[in-house]
Structure 1
Amino acid sequence: MWNNLGREQRFAIGGETLEVVKEYVYLGQVVTAEPNHESEITRRIRMGWSTFGKHSQIMNGSLPLSLKRKVYNSCILPVLTYGAETWRLTKRVQLKLRTTQRAMERKMIGVTLRDRKRAEWV
């Protein structure tokens, strides 16, 4: 751990010195010494796409959009936004999340960027 003077401070419990790490996962969320949450958000986006892929038969199939929306809202969105209460939402982060959401929505309805449909249409 670093103090605000830039010097490293060691901690010991029971005579054993704790290891100093740059980041670690606690309760499913990456914790870092830096106030930047972009690595955690990028990780969450990857996990969201992974979950989306696990449900690809439902999401890419010919099932009704209402069912796809329920699966998205109950299975994928919670994975994507877990821990979002602690994120510092900059414009860049908001754009990243919005882009991911739109890409998933496009995939659910079978519309690609080549179809030239605006985000509002999706």
Structure 2
Amino acid sequence: MIFNVLNPQPVQIDETILPFTEKFTYLGSCVTPDGGAKDDIINRLGKARTAFRMLNRVWKSQQYKLSTKIRLYRSCVLSTLLYGSECWRMTDQDLSKLSSFHTKNLRKIARIFWPQRISNEELLEHCQQESIEKILVERRWKWIGHVLRKSQNAIPRVAVQWKPE
């Protein structure tokens, strides 16, 4: 969302004037005046790191197959990381942070440590995973399809199909 921050109008309820704020959290996402997703991505990375750390015993265990660990990673960690990502305005820097988080975690899960050297493409192939960019594109297309199947007057569909005059 982008707001008119050059001339913010005060909001008054009864006799109380509400203070202006630069950013706030709404439904788990950080809303900023410039419409960027930087703060939201940093917040999501922190939550995903916590989710990953909570499963450290599983990642280190020899008892589980790699495929089981990957399924757990996708359902618990990636879903936490990418919550709301369908609407993020991404920069190359944001994409780089998400990509390095993804590959670093896959290396830990697959137990590929230094001095072993494999490229990120080989890592993704070994783990039978896609790059974070491809995952994001798929999520966005899935969301667009969901919105376009809604009724003609649904707010998300109207917003997506809106053409400024």
TM-score bin (small chain): 0.7 to 0.9
Q: Which amino acid aligns with 2:12?
A: A
Shift of 1:3: 2.9
Which structure 2 residues correspond to residues 17-36 of structure 1 after superposition, within 5 A?
17-36=17-36
After superposing on structure 2, the runs of 4+ consecutive aligned residues of structure 1 that deviate more than 3 Å are none
Partner of 2:127 in structure 1?
Answer: none
Q: Which amino acid aligns with 2:24?
A: Y
Partner of 1:91 in structure 2?
Answer: 92
Structure 1 residue 74 corresponds to structure 2 residue 75: yes
Q: Which amino acid aligns with 2:47?
A: M
Partner of 2:60 in structure 1?
Answer: 60
Partner of 2:39 in structure 1?
Answer: 39
Partner of 1:121 in structure 2?
Answer: 122
Counterpart secondary structure, 2:90: coil
Which 5+ residue runs of structure 1 have no aligned equivalent?
Answer: none
Alpha-carbon distance in structure 1 between the residues aligned to 2:49 and 2:16: 40
Which 5+ residue runs of structure 2 have no aligned equivalent?
Answer: 124-165
Counterpart secondary structure, 2:121: coil
Alpha-carbon distance in structure 2 between the residues aligned to 1:92 and 1:17: 38
Shift of 1:98: 1.1
Q: Which amino acid aligns with 1:103?
A: K
Counterpart secondary structure, 1:43: helix
TM-score (norm 1): 0.88
| Identity across matched positions, percent | 27
Q: Provide closer, same or farther for how the CA distance between residues 83 and 113 of structure 1 changes in structure 2, counting only shifts above 3 A.
A: farther
Shift of 1:113: 4.6
Partner of 1:51 in structure 2?
Answer: 51
Counterpart secondary structure, 1:120: helix
Alpha-carbon distance in structure 2 between the residues aligned to 1:25 and 1:67: 34
TM-score (norm 2): 0.67
Count how many residue pairs are aligned between Structure 1 and Structure 2: 120
Shift of 1:100: 0.8
User: What is the RMSD of the two structures over their aligned residues, measured on CA atoms?
Assistant: 1.6
Q: Which has the higher contact order (CA 8 A, sep 6+)?
A: 1
Shift of 1:77: 0.8
Structure 1 residue 101 corresponds to structure 2 residue 102: yes
